[in-house]
Structure 1
Amino acid sequence: MNIERFIEARKALVLSQMELAEGICTQATLSRFENNGQVPNLKILIKLCNRLNLPLGELFPKVGVKYTEATEKMNKAEFFLITSEYDQASDLLRSIALSEIEENSLALRFHYLNGFVMIAQQISVTDILFTFDQILLADDRAETEIFRLLAYTGIGMVYSREMDPDKAEFYFSRVLESIYAYPIQTTEDIWRVLNIVFQSGTFFSQIDEIELSNALLSYAVSICSDNHVTYYLARAAIQLAKNAIIQGKPQQEVLELIHDARAYSKINKNTIALKELAQLESAILSGNPATE
């Protein structure tokens, strides 16, 4: 809330706190508002603003167009992240001025999205870690928890990319301590938990912890099923197919997983996944399966 704007309006009319408060509230109530940020109830605040000829909306600048535009752009960027369309996500994020974001959770969301896009675009390790540090060093609030888990996941992905599995496993293990118990309450929660679970499942496959990987990927599938979300079904099914190849499962079992993943990809019009599946199926049928 822009309390400074309120104080400026009072001083412009040459009113003391006592004069402004008269007949509306106590001077102490007004003092606590101006000096300590303790907001009075809405009825009192409206009366005070009316006496100052100050529109109430001027005290809430983040409800304006810039906030709405930033939120909408991040919604689209997060969807592009889910569908692996990283360049489109990057373009949207670059069009957002971080300095104009006042909401704490929105800033954390920006850093999380930016960090994951930077991983996909092979940006330098130090730049990515600095981005995730903006989350890890933020105040410990309720809305911080999911973004902190995403930051740990992203850092694990970076170390995995840099061929340092021990460091990567340290961060993914931190995630696994909490993610199963994290309460899923919103659609955004579903997307973010699925992102964490999927990336963790992929990592543990890379270090040949196939049983753990399959458990995580199956958990991702169950989340999708329980919440009627399909966007991660294809990616989870693709990785389950790769795991089946590593385990030496029969060709027919692997192909069934590929066919399931293709169906999910078609529903979501995920052309990137469809291309990967075509290559994987061709390799299976030619007797030269590749999981990377």
Structure 2
Amino acid sequence: MNIERFIEVRKAMGLSQMELAADICTQATLSRFENNGQVPSLKILIKLCNRLNLPLGELFPKVGVKHSETIEKMNQAEFFLITSEYEQAASLLETIASSELLEEPSLSMRCHYLKGFIMIAQPSPITDILFMFDQVLLEEESSEAEIFRLLAYTGIGMVYARENDLEKAEFYFQKVLEKIYQYPTKTIEDTWRVLHIVFQCGVFFAHIKELDISNALLHYAVTICSDNHVTYYLARAAIQLAKNAMIQKEPTAKILERIYDARAYSKINRNTIALAELARMEQEVRLQEDERKY
């Protein structure tokens, strides 16, 4: 409770403790509140605040405000990581105070995993990257921490693969694969993280010529995208762009390019209705092109 704010307003109004407490409570009750943090009954506190024209809410901590701002920054940084905008992600993470991360282990793990992946892409020295992932692995194990531990193992595998130490890299990727198939995704961020892990595993096994494993992992990644409609609005936007191009009588090649893009996104989502619509659109475009030729 922000008792300092209460005292500040009382003094600004020129009221002594005795004057403020008159007909509300004893001066001793008010003194215990201001000096020792002993909060009186809510009924008394409301009367005191009313006399000061002080909203009661100003005395209570701003629950979740800083926390939500930090999470929003984390979400944006994680999205930048997915879109390979590493400098933007790094700059955003730098705006988060370390004191905010200490308040919540999950935020600290998330920040360290993000920084680790960004450092791989930049690229940074191997010891610095491994130290960043160690910050995740040293946190106490919990169900909430599991996905970040899997991401840390993935990152370590990527580091060793980058250094061409394939035996160590495979050890960490195998460690991830033992658990990632059973990991339950509850949020869109979970889906991003699982996709990132599965994709990076697929890339690694392609690198070591284990193509059957790689193909299986990449097909699994496509299934995750489809099941979670990760590109759903991307497909819808592409379809509309194709329709707009037809209305504007754009060149046939440009219209077909938009149709093909939309078809690719629709296939990812297994959107049979959209695929049928795109087939009709393509047929219409080609018929119009044939009519112009003859």
Instruction: Return the TM-score normalized by structure 2.
Output: 0.61
Distance 1:76 1:110 in 2: 12
Structure 2 segments unaligned to the other structure (5+ residues): 5-29, 50-54, 235-259, 269-294
Distance 2:148 2:227 in 1: 23
Distance 1:167 1:158 in 2: 10
The one-letter amino acid paired with 2:84 is S
Distance 2:153 2:226 in 1: 26
Q: Tell me if structure 2 keeps the 8 A contact 1:115–1:132.
A: yes
Larger Cα Rg: Structure 1 or Structure 2? 2
Superposed CA deviations along residues 100-142 of structure 1, whole A, max 9, x for unmatched, are 2322222211111111111100111111111111110112222
Partner of 2:92: 92
Partner of 2:176: 175
Q: Tell me if structure 2 keeps the 8 A contact 1:132–1:155.
A: yes
Superposed CA deviations along residues 14-42 of structure 1, whole A, max 9, x for unmatched, are 5697xx68xx7xxxxxxxxxxxxxxxxxx
Distance 1:154 1:146 in 2: 12
Q: Tell me if structure 2 keeps the 8 A contact 1:81–1:117.
A: yes
CA RMSD between the two structures: 3.6
Q: How far off its partner does 1:208 sit? A: 0.9
- The verdict on how the C-alpha distance between 1:13 and 1:85 changes in structure 2, with shifts beyond 3 A counting, is closer
Q: How far off its partner does 1:175 sit? A: 0.4
Q: Tell me if structure 1 keeps the 8 A contact 2:120–2:129.
A: yes
Q: After TM superposition, list the pairs within 5 Å mapping 1:20-39 onto structure 2.
A: none
Instruction: Return the TM-score normalized by structure 1.
Output: 0.62
Q: How far off its partner does 1:95 sit? A: 1.9
Q: How far off its partner does 1:80 sit? A: 1.1
- The verdict on how the C-alpha distance between 1:176 and 1:50 changes in structure 2, with shifts beyond 3 A counting, is farther
Partner of 2:217: 216
Q: Tell me if structure 2 keeps the 8 A contact 1:198–1:216.
A: yes
Distance 1:4 1:152 in 2: 46
Q: How far off its partner does 1:69 sit? A: 2.6
SS of 2:139 mapped into structure 1? coil
- The verdict on how the C-alpha distance between 1:84 and 1:55 changes in structure 2, with shifts beyond 3 A counting, is same
Partner of 2:226: 225
Superposed CA deviations along residues 78-114 of structure 1, whole A, max 9, x for unmatched, are 1111111111111211222222232222221111111
The one-letter amino acid paired with 1:144 is A
Partner of 2:74: 74
Distance 1:176 1:143 in 2: 18
Q: Tell me if structure 2 keeps the 8 A contact 1:156–1:170.
A: yes
Superposed CA deviations along residues 29-58 of structure 1, whole A, max 9, x for unmatched, are xxxxxxxxxxxxxxxxx7898699796786
Q: Tell me if structure 2 keeps the 8 A contact 1:13–1:52.
A: no
1:186 counterpart = 2:187: yes
Superposed CA deviations along residues 229-248 of structure 1, whole A, max 9, x for unmatched, are 139x9xxxxxxxxxxxxxxx
Partner of 1:237: none
Q: Tell me if structure 1 keeps the 8 A contact 2:160–2:166.
A: yes
The one-letter amino acid paired with 2:196 is N
Partner of 1:30: none
The one-letter amino acid paired with 2:221 is A
Q: Tell me if structure 2 keeps the 8 A contact 1:10–1:52.
A: no
How many residue pairs are counted as aligned between the two chains?
210
Distance 2:162 2:64 in 1: 39
Q: Tell me if structure 2 keeps the 8 A contact 1:118–1:128.
A: yes
Structure 1 segments unaligned to the other structure (5+ residues): 25-45, 234-258, 268-292
Distance 2:44 2:148 in 1: 38
Q: How far off its partner does 1:181 sit? A: 0.3
Q: After TM superposition, list the pairs within 5 Å mapping 1:38-53 onto structure 2.
A: none
Q: Tell me if structure 2 keeps the 8 A contact 1:62–1:103.
A: no
Distance 1:48 1:222 in 2: 60
Pick which of 200-209 and 71-80 moved more. 71-80
Partner of 2:160: 159
Distance 1:224 1:165 in 2: 29
Distance 1:164 1:57 in 2: 57
